[in-house]
Amino acid sequence: MSNMIEFSLLLCLYEKENPEHLKECFESINQVSVLPREIVIVKDGPLTDELELVIDTHEFPTTTEGQSINVITIALPENVTLGPARAAGVEAVTCDWVAIMDTDDICRRDRFEKQLQVIEGNPDISLIGGQIAEFVDTPEHTVTTRIVPTGHDDIVKFAKLRNPFNHMTVMFKKDAVLKAGNYRFFPWFEDYDLWTRMINNGIICANLSDVLVDARIDNNTFGRRRGMAYIRMELKLQKQLRNLKLISMADYIRNVILRVPARVLPSGLLASVYRKFIR
């Protein structure tokens, strides 16, 4: 384990995060078999006192080499949304490899170890993710899994229709992300936007077949993805896929027909359609 690649863990949170969920996320990081060299926490605007207390009082363990994890906090003066917040975090990390995780999810103990083993055996890879188990309340209450393809060619093909990565599982090379233009303002699609630009740059990517993260959802997770603002960003994404020549005009028309009308459905019906067809 001691010779594994050093990596940074990037976390972003904002004031509406649940302090208990953040605490559970931190505790799961404490249990991983391979620890990050540093943790960069981006505060996307002012946080509640309860969230600040969790950050200030949590103690991350030392590495197997006896090194303390370097915890860097970046306090943005106002909420800039997830894309720009993550972009600031990517700029701040000092390791060549960066892992992403959401602050309300649970990291599996062997997540980083498994990803690093693949990275070390495949030096051409610049982006790697894995599968997620989605749960309500506790990880023991898994309700579904989101399965994404594992091989590079299948990932590129999948990207023509759907997001080919579970963003809370990814690890990537910092320089590959910066070369693609980093995260940017693209509400709801920050990660999909970045992956397509990286793929367009010719990077090699992969997903593990293992579940790496237990991802927290609630009854409104999918139903919230509706309305005109969401439709505008959906259309913007499809236009980008077309401009990058990742999809044909026929693909573009198909995607719009499949995805856009669903965004005006009642939230309960949209959740069902989203799980079965859009994801």
pLDDT tens across 237-256, in order? Answer: 999 999 999 999 999 999 99
Q: Is the pLDDT of residue 63 over 60?
A: yes
For residues 84 and 184, is the Cβ–Cβ distance under 8 A?
yes
Closest CA to 30 of 61, 7, 71, 63: 61
pLDDT band with cut points at 50, 70 and 90 for residue 203: very high
What is d(CA 128, CA 116) in angstroms, rounded to the nearest whole number? 9
What is d(CA 161, CA 246) in angstroms, rounded to the nearest whole number? 10
Closest CA to 193 of 181, 202, 203: 181
What is d(CA 21, CA 31) in angstroms, rounded to the nearest whole number? 16
What is d(CA 220, CA 240) in angstroms, rounded to the nearest whole number? 28
Residue 41, φ and ψ in degrees, nearest 5: -110, 115
pLDDT in tens, 124-152: 999 999 999 999 989 888 999 999 999 99
Taking residues 64-68, report their average pLDDT.
Answer: 78
pLDDT in tens, 106-115: 999 999 999 9
For residues 171 and 7, is the Cβ–Cβ distance under 8 A?
yes
pLDDT at residue 102, as a whole number: 97
Residue of 279 and 146 predicted with greater confidence: 146
Q: How far is CA 277 from CA 154, 192, 270, in A?
A: 18, 17, 10
By the 10 Å C-beta count (0-12 exposed, 13-18 middle, 19+ buried), 91 is classed as: middle
pLDDT at residue 51, as a whole number: 98
For residues 153 and 164, is the Cβ–Cβ distance under 8 A?
no
pLDDT at residue 268, as a whole number: 53
Residue with tokens 């495949």: 122
For residues 124 and 206, is the Cβ–Cβ distance under 8 A?
no
